[in-house]
Amino acid sequence: MALLSSGLVIAGAYADKIRRTLFAQLRDYVKKDKEWAQKIAFATAQLNRLLYAVLVEQLKVDKGDVVRIRVEYDVDETGKNIIWKWDTLVIEAFKRVPKEHVEAVIKQALSKVAELTIAAVAYNVTQLGETADGDVVFTVKLNDREVGAAIVTPVNDTLAILKRGAVLEPTPAIFERVKLEIQPGKSIEDSLRAALSTVMQTAKHVSYEEALKLANVIRERVAVTPMAKIEEVEEE
């Protein structure tokens, strides 16, 4: 089983990238027997015809949009065939934003740069569980995505301590020993959200790896599945 990946490529060039990639992966076969070149070319044509139907005819991507295609295949050495594993096909399409729109948004943002660079962040928190010694563990969310974790020690009805916390977005940071004053009619969650929202002003800014490590250490306290690292994508 082998994997063909186009890497990130503009939609107008995916067909050529698919062809070049497959030939590169199977060049040893071509060196041994020239008949393989025809077989590889035919397999490439099969895949590209399917991709055209999906990307152009159905999704109607523009030539300047970015796509990435992945699909596994087997090599039948006896029959000299490429057998696509169609059920493994993954297609990602990223719509291009017109340059004029990007420039307009940047201009608008820069007009409020002093405000935006220190603006509060609208985190949400959800309790994951309690530790054996009474601490409460929360997952931290931003726009419904899990982006961190926090562990809090309740003291009384009006006070709690954020022992440690870590967030990955919008910038990796950690919190340590933050007093959470609980106002009348408010909850620990309300105070925790307020404390986390000041990430730009009060948190310690660290590397992504350090923030992720701490978030998962906190999650381990209540045996919750660790957050996965977001792998960087290298353009090919």
Query: Structural domains in the chain?
Result: 2-94 (3.30.470.50), 116-220 (no CATH)
For residues 109 and 156, which has the higher predicted lDDT (pLDDT)?
A: 156
For residues 73 and 201, which has the higher predicted lDDT (pLDDT)?
A: 73
**11, 65 in Cβ contact below 8 A?**
yes
How much is the pLDDT for 144?
82
List CB contacts of 226: < 8 A, sequence separation 6 or more: 216, 219, 220
**169, 230 in Cβ contact below 8 A?**
no
**58, 13 in Cβ contact below 8 A?**
no
For residues 176 and 96, which has the higher predicted lDDT (pLDDT)?
A: 176
Residue 175 has pLDDT above 60, yes or no: yes
Give residue 230's pLDDT band: very low, low, confident or very high (50, 70, 90): low
List CB contacts of 121: < 8 A, sequence separation 6 or more: 142, 170, 196, 197, 199, 200
Give residue 47's pLDDT band: very low, low, confident or very high (50, 70, 90): very high
Mean pLDDT of 117-126: 87
59-111 pLDDT, tens per residue? 888 888 999 999 999 999 888 899 999 999 999 999 888 888 888 988 988 88
How much is the pLDDT for 143?
85
Give residue 116's pLDDT band: very low, low, confident or very high (50, 70, 90): confident
> Mean pLDDT of all residues in the chain?
89
How much is the pLDDT for 236?
47
Rounded Cα–Cα distance for residues 229 and 211 (Å)? 11
Where helices occur in 34-171 by DSSP H, the ranges are 35-52, 99-110, 113-116
How much is the pLDDT for 132?
92
How much is the pLDDT for 66?
93
How much is the pLDDT for 32?
86
Residue 156 has pLDDT above 90, yes or no: yes
